[in-house]
Amino acid sequence: MTVLIAGGGIGGLTAALSLHAAGIEARVVENVREIRPLGVGINLLPHAARELIELGLGDELARIGVATLENVYADRHGNEIYTEPRGLAQGYKWPQYSIHRGKLQMLLLDAVRDRLGPDAVRTGVRLEDFTDTGDAVRAELSDRETGRTETVEAPALIGADGIHSVVRAKLHPDEGPLLYSGIRMWRGVTEMKPFLTGRSMVIVRHRGVEMIAYPISPRHINWVCLIRMSEPGPLVEEEAGWNRPGRLEELLPHYRDWDLGYLNVPEMLSGSEVLLEYPMADREPLTSWGRGRVTLLGDAAHPMWPVGANGASQSVLDGRTLASELARADRVEDGLAAYETARVEATGKVVLANRNMNKAAERARLARQDFGRITDAYRRETGAEVDHLNARESLTPVR
């Protein structure tokens, strides 16, 4: 069978590679006309790095990413409060990578086209609607350039079409708007020398304002600034812009006197090559994602606050689990049901753990024991303890 995946992001492309590795073909339709290496930095936690390494992408990940060594929690003057090892240094068998999102997406895209064929990913094609007939899924596709529409059939449809998912909207039409945390994020990438070990991530919080910075190459620092703007509530239209250009003059006053010694924050913000603004939003976890021959994956299934650096990693795990369950099932519907059984509750815990960690950090007294307690609780809540992950069987599908 050939599974249809709507969405050519990290989750959709990982799913295509994993299905192919399991002996199941896939094709991907992506709304944008050209997939380009856009965006800013993200993190791949050890559980996701493991899965991509087992797909044969380990050397390329090491080439384009930075293996994170430590998280350093500091005050706005650079005084260390708490330092936590990460990845291999923390005892995991696999590294944690800080990596440019666009470069990771292009790595996955190249691998899909190399392994599944040059036509495995169709760009400029939008999923408009779908119908599960019981024997197959009929998907209505439109070509963005010509406007022509076509109907294709597939044994399964995977909605990996992001936070504004067409598939989710049809499966769950009464959900309402996204839930706004009240925090806005500004993100950028600045060409400058890495700080501390060269593989350190620094996290600073002061009076409701937060900054996170880490290298994504030997010459580039990715940074995120988070500022509480309001109380939580529904994401109203004027706040709903995604990836819209940010304005430095709105951001800089909050960080004007932040100098860590090894990192001048105003200089870093002012020198950014790109400045994007996002609302920090999520949704309440669902008790089920799809039905029959249709399901969800990645941000379409479980949008989450980026507090735990876990969004892309959970999308990777989705794709690997989907392939494993479809490969061992006798019926498509049974495979998708088993996939949801494995992932719905697990990802729901991550969504809630991200909220809990952010709220706990806002209440913290900036004491060493606070950060240790918060990060330990997060690993327990998300099932990411070192011993558990090191002992877990591989998700690698077997033909």
Beta strands per DSSP E along 23-171:
25-30, 41-44, 66-67, 70-74, 80-85, 97-100, 121-123, 125-132, 137-143, 149-154, 157-159
99-118 residue pLDDT tens = 999 999 999 999 999 999 99
Question: What angle do helix axes 10-21 and 101-116 make, rounded to 10 degrees?
Answer: 30
Q: Which of 223, 263, 221 is nearest to 246 (CA)?
A: 223
Q: Copy the structure tokens of residue 43.
A: 């993190």
pTM here is: 0.96
Q: Model confidence over 326-385: pLDDT tens digits?
A: 999 999 999 999 999 999 999 999 999 999 988 887 776 666 777 888 888 899 999 889
| Alpha carbon distance 45, 160 (integer Å) | 20
pLDDT digits (tens, 9 = 90+) for 262-311: 999 999 999 999 999 999 999 999 999 999 999 999 999 999 999 888 99
- pLDDT higher than threshold 60 for residue 398: no
d(CA 77, CA 359): 23
CA–CA gap between residue 20 and residue 106 (Å, rounded) = 18
Per-residue pLDDT tens over the stretch 123-160: 999 999 999 999 999 999 999 999 999 999 999 999 99
Comparing 127-141, 162-176, 223-237, 356-370, which segment has the lowest mean pLDDT? 356-370
Query: Beta-carbon neighbour count of residue 133 at 10 Å?
Result: 10
* φ and ψ at residue 182, rounded to 5 degrees: 90, -5
Element (H, E) at 266: helix 265-270
DSSP class of 55:
I
Strand intervals (E) in the chain: 2-6, 25-30, 41-44, 66-67, 70-74, 80-85, 97-100, 121-123, 125-132, 137-143, 149-154, 157-159, 179-191, 200-206, 209-217, 220-228, 233-234, 244-245, 272-282, 294-296
Say how far apart CA 162 and CA 166 lie, in whole Å.
9
Determine how β-strand 25-30 pairs with β-strand 137-143.
unpaired
Pick the CATH number of 2-176+284-391 from 3.40.140.10, 3.50.50.60, 3.90.1640.10, 2.60.40.420: 3.50.50.60
Exposed, middle or buried: residue 304 (CB in 10 Å: 0-12, 13-18, 19+)?
A: buried
In the sheet with 41-44, reading across from the earlier edge strand, the strands are 41-44, 97-100, 66-67
